[in-house]
């Protein structure tokens, strides 16, 4: 299953809104076939594993990171192929909660006389497809906060200077993360102050959809996010009355989604529902601190990707502030997924655990 997980990760940034899936076929203790879901609309992992087999898979075991599909979509159901190939046992990492699946694939395999073992490396397989699993059940994207901070939690100095807190290795990995997620989100001030491209440049990978929060449609048309390099969505307020800017954006092929204001801020819960309708399953919020704080204080963010550099800034611009926690115990806790070192920088990947 560990091999299947590594295979599945090869599909990162290519298969959404489908899940990342890897499959390994073992016969008499020897791997005879391996495969993964390579791109949306193409063969699923199980089929690619069968196509790679070096010998007859009849009587073999299959290890697959997600419950095999049992419905017709862009491709035929994988359960049918598993049954026809006379697989003896299927080991499954995590279940598929989608309405068309939800255990139906497992039942179909069992009814065909195939032994099914579930929950193999379940935690790892669930982390692998965190975005897909949330989207399948709630129809909204996984929201990931990404920030590069000093050791005392600052994104920038009081002057606004933030280049560069983290090192080149960290910045390269942050671009790799961009290629994994469906979309990257920033606020108006980040666009105006930094004029970011929000594309993948330091590694190979797809550009994410660029999402910009601009409640009054005030961002100058010359900014790079409007250059047509990749799809851009502007989220604005229903009360915004700037027809000139709106016409410019739409003429450039840029989508404008409008939501109400709530407590002086764009209603992002509604905005993320609208993004879900567009099949966006994951959003990486890159800043700034006001957006991060809103997402955390309103319990909207699901995950944190935090780069921490060995520097103290002091009274700079913090990536998270304004909470009203009455105690440490009632604060937001991190369920650590992974910790990496990039030179002297520390990268923390964690799910966010909110307490009442």
Catalytic sites, residue numbers: 46
CA–CA distance, 78 with 156 (Å, rounded to integer): 50
Residue 119, both tokens: 């929950």
CA–CA distance, 164 with 239 (Å, rounded to integer): 37
CA–CA distance, 231 with 220 (Å, rounded to integer): 18
Residue 114, both tokens: 């195939």
**Beta pairing class for 265-266 and 261-262:** antiparallel
Polymer length of the chain: 356
Report how far apart the first and last C-alpha atoms of the chain are (Å, whole number): 36
Q: Which residue has the tokens 């809104």?
A: 17
Closest CA to 78 of 46, 110, 48, 53: 46
Measured CA distances, 225 to 102, 147, 232 (Å): 39, 19, 7
What DSSP string describes 268-333? HHHHHHHHHHTT--EEEEEE-HHHHHHHHHTT---EEEEEE-S----SSEESS-----SSSTTS-E
Question: Who contacts 54 (Cβ-Cβ below 8 Å, separation ≥6)?
Answer: 32, 33
């Amino acid at each position: 299953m560990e091999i299947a997980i590594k295979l599945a990760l090869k599909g990162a940034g290519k298969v959404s809104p489908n899940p990342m899936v890897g499959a390994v076929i073992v016969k008499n203790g020897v791997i005879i076939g391996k495969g993964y879901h390579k791109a949306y609309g193409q063969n699923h992992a199980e089929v690619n594993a069968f196509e790679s087999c070096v010998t007859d898979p009849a009587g073999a075991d299959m290890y697959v990171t997600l419950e095999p599909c049992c419905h017709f979509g862009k491709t035929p159901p994988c359960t049918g192929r598993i049954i026809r190939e006379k697989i003896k046992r299927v080991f499954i990492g995590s279940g598929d909660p989608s309405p068309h699946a939800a255990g139906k694939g497992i039942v179909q395999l069992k009814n065909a006389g195939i032994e099914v073992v579930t929950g193999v490396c379940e935690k790892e397989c669930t982390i692998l497809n965190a975005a897909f699993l949330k989207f399948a059940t709630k129809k909204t994207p996984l929201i990931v906060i990404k920030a590069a901070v000093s050791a005392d939690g600052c994104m920038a100095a009081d002057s606004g200077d933030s280049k560069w807190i983290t090192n080149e290795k960290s910045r390269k990995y942050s671009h790799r993360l961009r290629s994994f997620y469906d979309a990257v989100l920033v606020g108006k001030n980040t666009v105006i102050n930094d004029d970011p491209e929000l594309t993948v440049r330091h590694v190979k990978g797809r550009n994410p959809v660029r999402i910009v929060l601009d409640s009054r449609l005030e961002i100058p048309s010359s900014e790079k996010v409007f250059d047509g390099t990749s799809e851009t969505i502007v989220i604005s307020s229903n009360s915004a009355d700037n027809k000139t800017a709106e016409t410019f954006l739409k003429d450039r092929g840029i989508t404008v989604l409008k939501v109400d204001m709530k407590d002086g801020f764009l209603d992002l819960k509604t905005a993320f529902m609208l993004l879900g309708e567009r099949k966006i399953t994951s959003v990486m919020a890159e800043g700034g601190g006001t957006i991060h704080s809103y997402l955390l204080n309103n319990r909207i963010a699901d995950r944190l990707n935090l780069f921490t550099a060995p520097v103290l800034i002091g009274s700079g611009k913090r990536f998270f502030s304004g909470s009203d926690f009455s105690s440490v115990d009632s604060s937001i806790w991190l369920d650590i997924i992974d910790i990496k070192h990039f030179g002297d920088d520390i990268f923390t990947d964690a799910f966010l655990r909110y307490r009442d």
